[in-house]
A = this chain, B = another copy of it.
Amino acid sequence: MARLSLNQRTCAEWTLREAIDGCLSAGLSSLGVWREPVAHVGLETARRWVEESGLRVSSVCRGGFLTMPEGSLRRASLDSNRAAIEETATLGAPALVLVPGGLPEGERDIDAARRRFLDGVAALVPEAQAAGVVLAIEPMHPIFAADRGVVSTLEQALDMAEQFPASAVGVVVDTFHLWWEPGVEQQIARAGDRIASYQISDWITPLPPDALLSRGMVGDGHIDFEAFTGWVARTGYAGDVEVEIFNADVWATPGAEVVATMSDRYLERVQPWLG
């Protein structure tokens, strides 16, 4: 389980301290952190805890939300992203995950929103390079295109990322978001060293009523993790494999039990194909 990482939102009830201890107890060596629980204890405390734990921080969630037009909201979002870049560097994580953001209130031009997101990424590249942090664009399932993430395919994310150095802008490859994409195998190959994070959760049916909480435990749904993981491995990806599951049933389960189940599933369905 040397490459298995717990994304904090999978055990949403856990504080940062509990998440660190939970990873250590379960024999994991990596943790994907969210900014809010880090802020709750303070960045310096979080940094010290992580260092003392010996865990890697596989990624920081999340920056992005850069689809709005010029104005105070956009300036505030850019400032928040700059702070997030610093936090990512301080915690020693390789990548800051960028959730693109949805359509601004009342706007229906998705291409314009996509262009503004890309402009926002461009504005952050110098800071990311200075800090040694990769901005990881997360293409999101089209179920979220209106209200959360206007970048809808890995192909589109790569069209954006390739406008910048690979040391500054990469992509998140998340099975839940991308499993359906026509030609995704070729896009993963194209991504190569742009893959800044590999995240896994399953697409389950019937889809749970709250679209935001519709991700399933690896192995409970329709995704071919063996094939997907093999495609990622063939790029030479050597990073962590983060389990990120937003699901009310998972959140109602004790964290240690969730981590045990995800570890079993990882060993069955993912690890053997990591090469």
Contact = CB atoms under 8 A, between A and B. Distances in A.
Interface in A141-180: 141-143, 145-147, 152-153, 155-156, 179-180
Oligomer copy total: 2
Given A207-B211, A209-B209, A146 B221 contact: yes
Contacts of A114: 182
A205 interface: yes
Interface of A: 103, 108-110, 114, 141-143, 145-147, 152-153, 155-156, 179-182, 203, 205-207, 209-211, 221-224, 227
A127 to B, nearest CB: 27
Determine the main DSSP class of A at the interface with B. loop
Given A142-B141, A142-B143, A224-B108, A182 B155 contact: yes
A224 B180 CA distance: 24
Nearest to A221: B146
B180 A145 contact: yes
19 contacts: A103-B222, A108-B227, A109-B227, A110-B179, A110-B224, A142-B142, A142-B143, A142-B180, A142-B181, A143-B207, A145-B179, A145-B180, A146-B180, A146-B222, A147-B205, A147-B206, A152-B180, A209-B210, A211-B211
Nearest to A224: B108
Point out which of A147, A155, A182, A203 has the most chain B C-beta atoms below 10 A from its C-beta. A182
Given A108-B223, A182-B156, A209-B209, A143 B146 contact: no
A209 B146 CA distance: 16
A144 to B, nearest CB: 9
A260 to B, nearest CB: 24
Contacts of A227: 108-109
Given A108-B224, A209-B210, 15 more contacts: A108-B223, A109-B227, A110-B179, A110-B180, A142-B181, A143-B143, A145-B179, A146-B221, A147-B205, A152-B180, A152-B182, A153-B182, A206-B211, A207-B211, A209-B209
